[in-house]
Amino acid sequence: MIHLPGGKIVDHLDSPEATTAWLIERDLVDGKEQLLSYCQSKLCGLRSDLQNIFLMQATNQNIDQQVVDRINKALTVAPHISLLHYSADAGFYRAAEHPVTLLVEHAMSVIAEDAVTLLASEEAELLIQCEAEPCQRFMLRTHGRRQWCSTRCGDRVRAARAYARKRENALNSST
């Protein structure tokens, strides 16, 4: 979910079709099946939990054990190891095949694994939230002064500051 200026929100997980497309783009599902709204809702729940735990880490808040438990459940609910298969045409190959109801659990376990790997590493101390309003993205502060997740966010903040200075100067000169 991306918050844009003017209150506009872009959510790539806003429908089962959009969620399926998002997962296909990231090679987390193969595209043969279409996710259900129940699956979309579960993935959005994981996204919310990951945002919450990243925020807790980035702002040194107390960690909510219920959030940790839900992330751990996402890690363990479906295997993210590809299974061994055989066909006469292709020979042996590995693939993660799950019924449609498990597609999202498989994707969630992979996503949760990436997040947990970050949170349990030394890099977790570098996790910060973008300081541009209304952005809600997180990033790793890899060098000293980085405050924004993208040039776009930085430009938006600098433009807002310039506008505020210009407005303040106009108000001061009229008095």
Higher pLDDT, 16 or 100: 16
Which residues 6+ apart lie within 8 Å of 19 measured at CB?
A: 12, 13, 35, 39, 40, 43, 104
Kindly give, in sequence order, each residue whose CB lies less than 8 Å from that of residue 3, ignoring residues fewer than 6 positions away: 9, 134, 135, 136
What ranges do the domains of the chain cover?
2-130
CA distance 34 to 45: 19
pLDDT in tens, 139-166: 888 777 778 888 788 888 788 888 888 8
Q: What is the pLDDT of residues 85-124, one digit of tens each?
A: 788 888 888 776 555 557 788 888 888 999 999 999 998 8
pTM, rounded to two decimals? 0.71
Give the gyration radius of the chain's Cα atoms: 21
Give me the chain's average pLDDT, please.
82
CA-wise closest residue to 13 among 4, 26, 23:
23
Confidence (pLDDT) at 160: 81
- Looking at residue 45, its pLDDT comes to 93
pLDDT for 51 equals 92
pLDDT at residue 46, rounded to an integer: 93
Nearest to 83 by CA among 55, 101, 102: 102
Structure tokens at 79: 């295997």
